[in-house]
């Protein structure tokens, strides 16, 4: 009877990022520009890699997957926020909120695991160059790209099933711009112990474990590079990893702060700032990070744009 007397919220109010209404116009313009750059940049990377046979290698295969995931991650959160600002309607239904949370975790987990997979690819390329083609076979590449999809689906679905058992009472205001797990757990008026334990387990699996694998891979890479006799050879080897290291710093620097730091040091403002970094800023910057430091990718993008701009005869 007690559970029946509690009326679970049928919708939530996303309070968004703006502290004052007059800030919303600036936020709308800023995030609209960021999303357009994100969409165009990541689509260009995907099309350029697909259309240039020279880029049909494991490294660019994983990069194309990462660009697709980044685009989907941004699309899951930013357009809804833009619509809310434009229509002045900040509500989101319970079912839409859980759907958004599912895809946020789905693509977030994909991002984390793919970045670790790309570190392994660089490890094989630098530490075992003579066996690279044999080790990074099409079968293994397909497996390394496919496992994150299955893992993400299972973990995200488990989050939703656990969330569906919670009851949300009178307070339905979410101090965020999308439906994230941690703010939702704070709104629940039922016990969330199981959910919090699962969050820690998942954070260890899909954030801490890939991050440790990345550190181990780069430790081996650095040792291998230091054995290269020529300065030019060491510089070239380091340059192939610099873009990936920049992405690692951007992504894990924010996600570790949100999901692995003690709740006592986290605030709603810090969580929203970190969320902006890995749902909007990182997906926008990744195409620039990879294309500006990669000669082959820049050449493929130049040819792609030239074909689109030059009228056909």
Q: At 126, which CATH number?
A: 1.20.1070.10
Which pLDDT score is estimated for 239? 72
235, HSE (Cβ side, Cα atoms, 13 Å): 3
| Pair 79, 34: CB distance under 8 Å | no
Domain range for residue 27? 14-304
Query: Order of strands, edge to edge, in the sheet holding 11-14?
Result: 91-93, 11-14, 173-174
| Pair 51, 300: CB distance under 8 Å | yes
Residue 9 lies in a domain: no
Distance CA 17, CA 24 (A): 8
Residue 283 lies in a domain: yes
Distance CA 107, CA 51 (A): 25
Distance CA 121, CA 142 (A): 13
Residue 7 lies in a domain: no
Which pLDDT score is estimated for 1? 38
The reported pTM is: 0.87
Residue 293 lies in a domain: yes
Q: Structural domain tally of the chain?
A: 1
Residue 8 lies in a domain: no
Which pLDDT score is estimated for 2? 43
Please determine, for residue 7, whether its predicted confidence score (pLDDT) is greater than 60. Answer: no
CA 260 to chain CA mean position, Å:
16
How many residues are there in the chain?
A: 313
Instruction: Give the helix/strand (H/E) hosting 12.
Output: strand 11-14
Identify the CA nearest to 108 among candidates 100, 120, 98: 100
Q: For 13-57, what is each residue's pLDDT tens digit?
A: 888 887 777 788 888 999 999 999 999 999 999 998 998 888 899
């Amino acid at each position: 009877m007690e559970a029946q007397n509690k009326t679970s919220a049928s919708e939530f109010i996303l309070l968004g990022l703006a502290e004052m209404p007059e800030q919303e116009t600036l936020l709308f313009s800023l995030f609209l520009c960021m999303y357009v750059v994100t969409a165009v940049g990541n689509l260009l990377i995907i099309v350029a890699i697909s259309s240039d046979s020279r880029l049909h290698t494991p490294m660019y295969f994983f990069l194309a997957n990462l660009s697709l995931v980044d685009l989907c991650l941004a699309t899951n959160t930013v357009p809804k926020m833009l619509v809310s600002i434009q229509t002045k309607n900040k509500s989101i239904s319970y079912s839409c909120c859980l759907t958004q949370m599912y895809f946020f975790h789905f693509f977030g987990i994909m991002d984390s695991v793919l970045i670790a997979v790309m570190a392994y690819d660089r490890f094989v390329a630098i530490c075992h160059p003579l066996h690279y083609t044999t080790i990074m076979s099409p079968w293994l590449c397909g497996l390394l790209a496919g496992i994150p999809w299955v893992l993400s689906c299972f973990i995200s679905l488990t989050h939703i099933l656990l969330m569906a058992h919670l009851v949300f009472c009178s307070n339905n205001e979410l101090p965020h711009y999308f439906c994230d797990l941690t703010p939702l757990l704070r709104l629940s008026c039922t016990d969330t112990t199981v959910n919090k334990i699962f969050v820690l387990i998942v954070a260890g699996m899909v954030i801490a474990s890939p991050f440790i694998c990345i550190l181990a891979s780069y430790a081996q890479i650095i040792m291998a590079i230091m054995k290269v006799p020529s300065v030019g050879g060491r510089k070239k080897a380091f340059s192939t990893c610099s873009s990936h290291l920049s992405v690692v710093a951007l992504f894990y620097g924010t996600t570790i702060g949100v999901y692995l730091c003690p709740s006592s040091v986290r605030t709603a403002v810090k969580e929203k700032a970190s969320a902006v970094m890995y749902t909007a800023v990182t997906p926008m910057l990744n195409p620039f990070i990879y294309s500006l430091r990669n000669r082959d990718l820049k050449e493929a993008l130049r040819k792609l744009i030239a074909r689109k701009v030059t009228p056909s005869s």
